[in-house]
């Protein structure tokens, strides 16, 4: 079972450098007996990003993932090298999300989304209905 939504880092070169959207799959493992410093990092992430169904913090960025790895929470070792095709929709506001599309997200035991997920669900549904208002910033600009 997934503990959080997938993290796909999309930087300025994502669409040019990776036209077929091949991504490495990295499984984050939270080890027992972590250091006090690592526990502080986990607590900070949980406070800032919320927690998953197992109580561990949500990881939102590649930098956060790198920080966890540097703290020894996912030590490098023998891993199967897995890849996935993970296309990010470049212009979702251009009717890219069809009426029959569906969103897969992590659910709690009661089948409700994680507390940090409703924003994405709302934005997906807004775009699916053909509205651009979901892309408006706090000042009403796109």
Give tens-digit pLDDT for 52-90.
Answer: 888 888 888 888 888 877 777 765 554 566 777 877 888
Residue the block writes with tokens 């939102």 = 60
* 45 and 104 housed in the same domain: no
Same-domain status, 106 and 58: no
Residue 99 sits in the same domain as residue 114: yes
Residue 122 sits in the same domain as residue 95: yes
| pLDDT per residue as tens digits for the range 110-130 | 888 888 788 888 888 888 888
Task: Classify residue 1: in a domain, yes or no.
Answer: no
* CA-angle at 92, arms to 91 and 97, nearest 5°: 140
Q: Which two tokens stand for residue 76?
A: 């490098």
Per the structure, the complete domain to which residue 126 belongs is given by 91-142
Instruction: Tell whether 44 is covered by a domain.
Output: yes
Is residue 77 domain-shared with residue 102, that is, in the same domain?
A: no
Q: What angle do CA 85, 134, 136 make, to 5 degrees?
A: 110
Is 134 within a domain? yes
Whole-model pTM: value is: 0.60
Contacts of 81 (CB under 8 A, 6+ apart): 24
Integer-rounded Cα Rg, in Å, for the chain is: 17
């Amino acid at each position: 079972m997934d503990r959080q939504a997938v993290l796909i880092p999309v930087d300025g070169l994502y669409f040019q450098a990776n036209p077929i959207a091949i991504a490495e799959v990295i499984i984050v493992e939270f080890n027992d007996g972590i250091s006090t410093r690592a526990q502080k990092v986990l607590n900070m992430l949980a406070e800032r990003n919320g927690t998953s169904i197992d109580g561990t913090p949500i990881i939102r960025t590649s930098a956060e993932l790198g920080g966890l790895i540097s703290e020894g929470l996912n030590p490098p070792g023998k891993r199967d090298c897995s890849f996935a095709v993970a296309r990010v929709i470049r212009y979702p506001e251009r009717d890219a999300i069809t009426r029959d599309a569906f969103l897969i997200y992590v659910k709690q035991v009661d089948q409700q989304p994680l507390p940090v997920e409703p924003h994405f669900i709302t934005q997906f549904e807004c775009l699916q209905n053909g509205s651009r208002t979901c892309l408006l910033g706090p000042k009403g600009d796109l």
